[in-house]
Amino acid sequence: MSELNEVRIDKWLWAARFFKTRGLAAEAVNGGKVHVNGQRCKPGKEVKVGDLIVISKDQYSWEVRVTDLNKQRRPAQEAALLYSEDQASIAKRLKQIELHKQQQALQHPSEREHKPNKKQRRQIHRFKQDAL
């Protein structure tokens, strides 16, 4: 894609579409959610092709290797070419997603889901009147 040698980690995370904005990427880096080659870093850390990046976002984590550099945010298909993820990382994240789905299924539905909408309220009201 490009002939860059190094790019700031916050720019790379944004260009690779792990975060919507550079600010969010910088926050994650400052918060210790991003490690480059096994070490915490600052948003100004320069990454090179071949670096190993571990990203923790929400309850999921990615372990990716930098395959290309780009300073600009491009379409998702091009952004996916900036990194490669090994099968172990993919399997781990899929397991995390499945566990999250199971936990969501065990939780009680929110109150909003219990409230009937206008159409359901009319039906309930009619049913009550018919029962009288």
Structure token pair of residue 97: 């997603």
The confidence score (pLDDT) of residue 19 equals 95
Enter the pTM of the model: 0.74
Residue 83 burial by Cβ neighbours in a 10 Å radius (0-12, 13-18, 19+) = buried
DSSP 82: G
Q: Each residue's pLDDT tens digit in the chain (132 positions)?
A: 456 789 999 999 999 999 999 999 999 999 999 999 999 999 999 999 999 999 999 888 999 999 999 989 999 999 999 999 989 999 999 999 898 888 887 776 665 566 667 777 767 767 666 666
The confidence score (pLDDT) of residue 42 equals 94
The confidence score (pLDDT) of residue 4 equals 78
Structure token pair of residue 95: 């397991």
Of 63, 73, 129, the residue nearest 96 (C-alpha): 63
Count of alpha carbons within 13 angstroms of residue 62, beta-carbon side: 17
The confidence score (pLDDT) of residue 49 equals 94
**What is the Rg, in whole angstroms, of the alpha carbon atoms belonging to the chain?**
22
Enclosing H/E stretch for 8: strand 7-8
What span, in angstroms and rounded, lies between the C-alpha atoms of 12 and 9?
A: 5
Instruction: Return the C-alpha torsion angle 74, 77, 81, 82, nearest 10.
Output: 30
